Amino acid sequence: MRKVAFIGTGGTIASIGKGPLDYVNYGANGVMLQAGGILDRFPEVQQVAEVFAVPYRNVPSPQIGWKEWQELVLLCDKVVAETPGLAGIVVGHGTASLEETAYFLSLTLKVPVPVVVVGSQRPASSLSTDAGLNLVNAVRVAADPGARGLGALVLLNDEIQAAREVTKTSTGRMQTFRSPDFGALGQADGDSIVWYRKPLRRLAPETEFDIRRLAALPRVDIAYSHSDADGTAVRAFTAAGAKGIVVAGFAPGFVTPGDAAALQEARAEGVIVLQSTRAGSGRVFPTTKLAEAGFIPADNLNPQKARILLALALTVTTDPAEIARIFAAY
């Protein structure tokens, strides 16, 4: 039996509602299991690996951000250092911000073992919950030698997704996590873990970002494009001290005249402007118009992922050409 660590951060996968049909208002019950309690509730996980709990904390995932991301990176370092023969790590997480945590880990982890982020759409207490099987399959993936070298992975609904590409696409359906442009890396089937492709962009542990001693990430905000946007949000972000602004623009990468004027003002103050789109799929093309405006294309990263990479890029450089290189590499 391979040895796998399970770190619990809370979320739906840890939640206990008021009954088996409570899978909408379960958060109001205020009950979340610690990592060990989740393993106890689904003892079948011990049939696929030797799994042990690593205490951390229990919170809804909208409460997870920079501070928790840094703590998770350090905790993974600690678990690997203290556990000889560790095959992999599973991180339980709420689905609301799961993709952001997974992508941050995929850019910053330095451990040699696979890290798989798992959640569930239904609480652990509900009828037909997906929590137990998702957890079992995440452990199977973390213990699988084929998971090495792929960065942080996401496992829900029997599908293995790359952290860079996956996004939550439905509020309540089980197939919510999708990789729109490229699809899953593999599947956790009943008989075996099956792989079909590998991500080619740079990812952990071979990245240039080291956040272990970092006090904070540079402030990066997202300005969402919409008809009649007049630059108010952009100017507010600039006034608040943003070092970078990601534009969730009209596809394939446009903004209103009002936002364009405000973004030029921001650039004049040294703010890096990154052009993403609100489309949810596809690249922002490096057009002449973008180059003349001084905006850096975000490739095919969605705005929330682009924000994370830009913040990390700003920890190593403020040179727009270097930041463009980073977005082409990662």
Active site residues: 12
Length of the chain: 330
Query: Residue 127, class by beta-carbon neighbours within 10 Å (0-12 exposed, 13-18 middle, 19+ buried)?
Result: exposed
Q: Between the CA of residue 261 and those of 229, 232, 254, what are the distances in Å?
A: 11, 11, 13
Q: Between the CA of residue 254 and those of 224, 272, 310, what are the distances in Å?
A: 11, 16, 19
> How far is 92 from 32, CA to CA, in rounded Å?
12
> How far is 14 from 21, CA to CA, in rounded Å?
16
CA-atom Rg of the chain in angstroms:
20
> How far is 277 from 302, CA to CA, in rounded Å?
7
> How far is 218 from 314, CA to CA, in rounded Å?
7
> How far is 231 from 223, CA to CA, in rounded Å?
9
Which residue is associated with the tokens 């690593």? 54
Q: Which amino acid, one-letter code, is at 70? A: Q
Phi and psi at 228, nearest 5°, equal 75, 10
Q: What angle do CA 187, 191, 195 make, to 5 degrees?
A: 30
Residue 233, SS3 per DSSP: helix
Comparing C-alpha atoms, which of 271, 277, 279 is closest to residue 236? 271
* Alpha-helical segments (H) within the chain: 35-41, 66-82, 98-108, 131-143, 232-239, 257-268, 288-293, 303-313, 320-329
